[in-house]
Amino acid sequence: MYYLLDDAADSYQDLYRRFLGKSEWRAKFSEKYIADAIHTILSQIWDGEDPTNVPMLVEDLVRTLDSYNEEQAVYVPLVGVAMGIESVQFGRITIRLMTDEKVDELIREHEAKIRASSLDQETQERSLQRATQALYEPLRKKVVAEYRVVAEPTRAQERAEDEVHRVLDLLRYAIPHIFKKGVSIAVGMVGGSQRASEKSGSYP
């Protein structure tokens, strides 16, 4: 466990704010990701790294952040939304029915990435099994909001949920104008806050 006092703590906070102050990085990286990266530099110093190498370590981190270009696909399960077609686009969000074909496609894509990795065979099999059971199989037959963005996974999830909230607000506004009066329903994200609508219906 490491603790920062006085000037060291102030320097850390200043560096942390500077990193998060860059809009390109703020769009790609969560606060935790940046904090963990800075902590890694500090731990290297406390573990014996020459303090004069700090500028070099910071420059390495800057290059890593600048060059990050990995796209994430986030699938947010929805409740209260039924689909009569396979997908519909709302800006950067795609509302999608996760058919067997789509889920099988995602599993094949994930398997291809795992097989191309340097992991040993046993680890590949375990990773594929965990991803299939925990990530993909639960999506079968579900309606999800799909969001794609270049960002690290935590930040991608955060941005996806922000975008999904906007789309759900649009749907909540539209429902009373499209469908006849019916039973109350809740439209929202699975596990998230749900606001009730006074109308019911399927979309589209």
Instruction: Give the count of alpha carbons within 13 A of 15, CB side only.
Output: 21
Q: Residue 75: how many CB atoms within 10 A of its CB? A: 21
What is the band of 174 on the pLDDT scale with cuts at 50, 70, 90?
Answer: confident
148 pLDDT more than 90: yes
What range does the domain containing 47 cover?
Answer: 6-67
The lowest-confidence range among 90-99, 138-147, 176-185, 194-203 is 194-203
Kindly state whether residue 42 falls inside one of the protein's structural domains. Answer: yes
Decide if pLDDT at 183 tops 90. Answer: no
Which helix (H) or strand (E) segment holds residue 131: the answer is helix 121-131
Residues 200 and 150 in one domain: yes
Question: Which tokens in the block code for residue 164?
Answer: 């999904």
Torsion of CA 170, 175, 176, 177, to 10 degrees: 80
200 pLDDT more than 70: no
Q: pTM value?
A: 0.78
Assess whether 86 and 169 both reside in one domain: yes
Comparison of pLDDT for 197 and 171, the residue scoring more: 171
Identify which has the larger pLDDT, 198 or 30. Answer: 30
Q: How many domains is the chain partitioned into structurally?
A: 3
Say if 1 falls within a structural domain: no
Please check whether residues 91 and 53 belong to one and the same domain: no
- Which has more pLDDT, 2 or 22? 22
